[in-house]
Structure 1
Amino acid sequence: MKIAVFCGSGSGVNPIFAEEARRLGALLVQQGHELIYGGGKTGLMGVIADSVLEAGGKVSGVMPVALIDKEVQHTGVTELFIVADMHERKAKMAELADAFIAMPGGIGTLEEIFEIWTWGQLGYHHKACGFLNVEGYYDQLLGFIGTVVDQQFMKPEYARMMQVSADPSELLNMLQHYEAPKAKWS
């Protein structure tokens, strides 16, 4: 599978985030998967790309031209797609990937995974999405998703679309066995 990973362009304060990015990268290669990601060389983005490359795997980056001008792109990736903007980046990553993982990151990471999750809910794709919940990073967000369901702004089956695990190996297994629910408006 080609797996898109959304994650921070920073590394965060807890070294476990980078450790788990390295671990996920190595597991992707061991299991025969390819990495699709934002194309950056900094933070967790750079860590996971380097991990996949060091293990002999394939890495495809998708970088908006404005960020290339700032020289934040990873120059060692297997393939780099240059796109006009962030909208095209997400569309290209969605086109390339068979599944999606959000690791710890900021609002960009959240925006990316939420849009992909929404597209799945609407039936635009039937691909698996997951949170790698390192050290409980997403616990409060998942609690809020529970509130969204409790207040009936989302049906439980659409909340369950998001696979969640603190263990990269378990999460990859969950993504491989994912079955999408019926699309929201079908």
Structure 2
Amino acid sequence: MLDSVSIGAAGKKISALITPDNTLNVLSQLEVARLVEKSNAAVYETFRRCALAALNTGAETDNTKQVLEQFRDFEIDVVQQERGIKLHLKNAPGNAFVDGEMVQGIKEHLFSALRDIIYVNNELLENSAADFHSSEGITNGVFQILRNSSVLKVHRSPSIIVCWGGHSINEVEYDYSKEVGYQMGLRGLDICTGCGPGAMKGPMKGATFGHAKQRIQGRYIGITEPGIIAAESPNPIVSELVIMPDIEKRLEAFVRLGHGIVVFPGGVGTAEEILYLLGILLHPDNRGLPFPLIFSGPASAAEYFGQIDEFIGLTLGKEAQGLYEIILDDPVLVAQKMRAGMDVVRNYRKQTHDAYYYNWVLKIDQDLQSPFNPTHQSMSQLSLRPGLAPNLLAANLRKAFSGIVDGNVKEHGIHAVAEKGPYQICGDPQIMKPLDALLRSFVAQKRMKIPTEEYIPCYQVVV
């Protein structure tokens, strides 16, 4: 319900009182009081930024600085009332409203941000409802966040396909991801992505047509975290938005909730996701566990996936290469393989008495669960040598890529690199040379986020 609206200069900014329709409308007075409390300035600013991103859903720009500057006077307050809460928006983006009414999907995203940033912080962190200092506690905490967001559907067979890939892929690659999504939608598969543009939007958009043809009520789940959603707003197709506390819990949410993964072309962020998953699947406790994994793109992506495959082979070995399949220019085959994979996953979950809606059996080392803080010291001290167990080496390589993402696009990393110079990535030549070659190929193919015509690396590979 929209209680009141006032339009600012040129109709570009709007102030309004908003009441939730279906979420957070049954809360105790204590819960409401905690939501209203603004004593933690950092939590409030995180919520403000995430709310602003939600209000910009579908906006063309992904320039965070530009959005924050344009709406620097944006404010959002939780208003307490006897029968629940309201949100008081001041100077909100006008594109979130149509004829004085907030767009329904944007309203849902807005209250998802409230639920996941403030409510989860109060209940799970400050009140210690979850133990984020142990591996089991982190997995349980991820479960509680997903359960609280209502994305865990108990009586549905495995059908959630996670799609990873770049947010700024070219038109050919975007159209291909959309066609794969369409073919998966025709086969009753649901889509889960990082909720942004590019390879996160394409599969969802395609699936909407496939689901519509089959008269299926499909699911379009977007999983993000505060640093990412602040940089790229959700795409308008996302119908279930979840904001996890950090990158690592976001990645765990993908693999616990999803039943298979399709990787489209991307850059260092996509490579980070690939290495994270390989670090899990290479763990001895996970051998034989079915987890369909396909790398796919149009014929023009052959060089990209060839270089990824070569890098994995040279650093992690043939066992790692055997965990995925590369399928080029064949959306139908990708969808067919994923559909068949769901039957295998369902049978395995039955045999192991594991839930369909949350993969409890999957073993994830705490090193992959704990937040990695990229600094010049932590990046230079990564252990990157061939003698490590493949799952541990994959986990450390994932951290290296995480640091590059940090230095490329995140405020913390950009400032650190500007002040102290590029991150130093050191290790054995057997690892460093393939890593350097892969990163150079990303630059040559313009798969780094390039703010200027010439990319200036935020890292230095020390061979």
- What are the equivalent positions in structure 2 for 1:13-32 lying under 5 Å apart? 15-32=171-188
In the alignment, the residues of structure 2 paired with residue 3 and residue 31 of structure 1 have an alpha-carbon distance, to the nearest angstrom, of 12
Alignment partner of 1:174 out of 327, 337, 340: 337
C-alpha contact 2:161 2:258 (8 A) present in aligned 1: yes
Q: Report the counterpart of residue 237 of structure 2 in structure 1.
A: 76
Q: Report the counterpart of residue 164 of structure 1 in structure 2.
A: 326
C-alpha contact 1:52 1:58 (8 A) present in aligned 2: no
C-alpha contact 1:163 1:174 (8 A) present in aligned 2: no
Deviation, 1:78, is 2.1
In the alignment, the residues of structure 1 paired with residue 229 and residue 162 of structure 2 have an alpha-carbon distance, to the nearest angstrom, of 20
In the alignment, the residues of structure 2 paired with residue 163 and residue 128 of structure 1 have an alpha-carbon distance, to the nearest angstrom, of 9
C-alpha contact 1:133 1:139 (8 A) present in aligned 2: no
Q: Report the counterpart of residue 63 of structure 1 in structure 2.
A: 224
Letter in 2 for 1:31: R
In the alignment, the residues of structure 1 paired with residue 336 and residue 274 of structure 2 have an alpha-carbon distance, to the nearest angstrom, of 19
Deviation, 1:64, is 0.7
Deviations 1:44-69 (A, max 9, x none): 22222222234433211101123333
Q: Quick check: 164-173 or 83-92, which moved more?
A: 164-173
| Matching of residue 46 in structure 1 with residue 201 in structure 2 | yes
Cα distance change on mapping 1:71 and 1:147 into 2, 3 Å: closer
Q: Report the counterpart of residue 126 of structure 1 in structure 2.
A: 290
C-alpha contact 1:117 1:129 (8 A) present in aligned 2: no
Deviation, 1:70, is 4.1
Q: Report the counterpart of residue 142 of structure 1 in structure 2.
A: 309
Q: Quick check: 91-100 or 112-121, which moved more?
A: 112-121
C-alpha contact 1:36 1:96 (8 A) present in aligned 2: no
In the alignment, the residues of structure 2 paired with residue 21 and residue 160 of structure 1 have an alpha-carbon distance, to the nearest angstrom, of 23
Letter in 2 for 1:160: G
Cα distance change on mapping 1:133 and 1:65 into 2, 3 Å: same
Please provide the CA RMSD for this pair.
2.6
Deviation, 1:4, is 0.5
Task: Give the length in aligned residue pairs.
Answer: 175
Letter in 2 for 1:120: L
Deviation, 1:102, is 0.8
In the alignment, the residues of structure 2 paired with residue 69 and residue 157 of structure 1 have an alpha-carbon distance, to the nearest angstrom, of 37
Give the structure, 1 or 2, with the largest relative contact order (CA under 8 Å, sep 6 or more).
Answer: 1
Q: Secondary structure at the match of 1:88?
A: helix
Cα distance change on mapping 1:43 and 1:177 into 2, 3 Å: closer
TM-score norm. by structure 2 comes to: 0.35
C-alpha contact 1:103 1:134 (8 A) present in aligned 2: no
In the alignment, the residues of structure 2 paired with residue 73 and residue 142 of structure 1 have an alpha-carbon distance, to the nearest angstrom, of 30
In terms of Rg, which structure is larger? 2
Cα distance change on mapping 1:165 and 1:71 into 2, 3 Å: closer
In the alignment, the residues of structure 2 paired with residue 160 and residue 172 of structure 1 have an alpha-carbon distance, to the nearest angstrom, of 19
Deviation, 1:89, is 1.1
Alignment partner of 1:103 out of 248, 258, 264: 264
| Matching of residue 9 in structure 1 with residue 167 in structure 2 | yes
In the alignment, the residues of structure 2 paired with residue 24 and residue 77 of structure 1 have an alpha-carbon distance, to the nearest angstrom, of 17
Deviations 1:117-165 (A, max 9, x none): 22112144531211114320311222333334xxxx52x3432111111
Deviations 1:105-126 (A, max 9, x none): 1111111122112211214453
Identity %: 21
In the alignment, the residues of structure 2 paired with residue 76 and residue 29 of structure 1 have an alpha-carbon distance, to the nearest angstrom, of 14
In the alignment, the residues of structure 1 paired with residue 326 and residue 319 of structure 2 have an alpha-carbon distance, to the nearest angstrom, of 14
Q: Which runs of 5+ in 1 are unaligned?
A: none
C-alpha contact 2:163 2:192 (8 A) present in aligned 1: yes
Deviation, 1:34, is 0.5
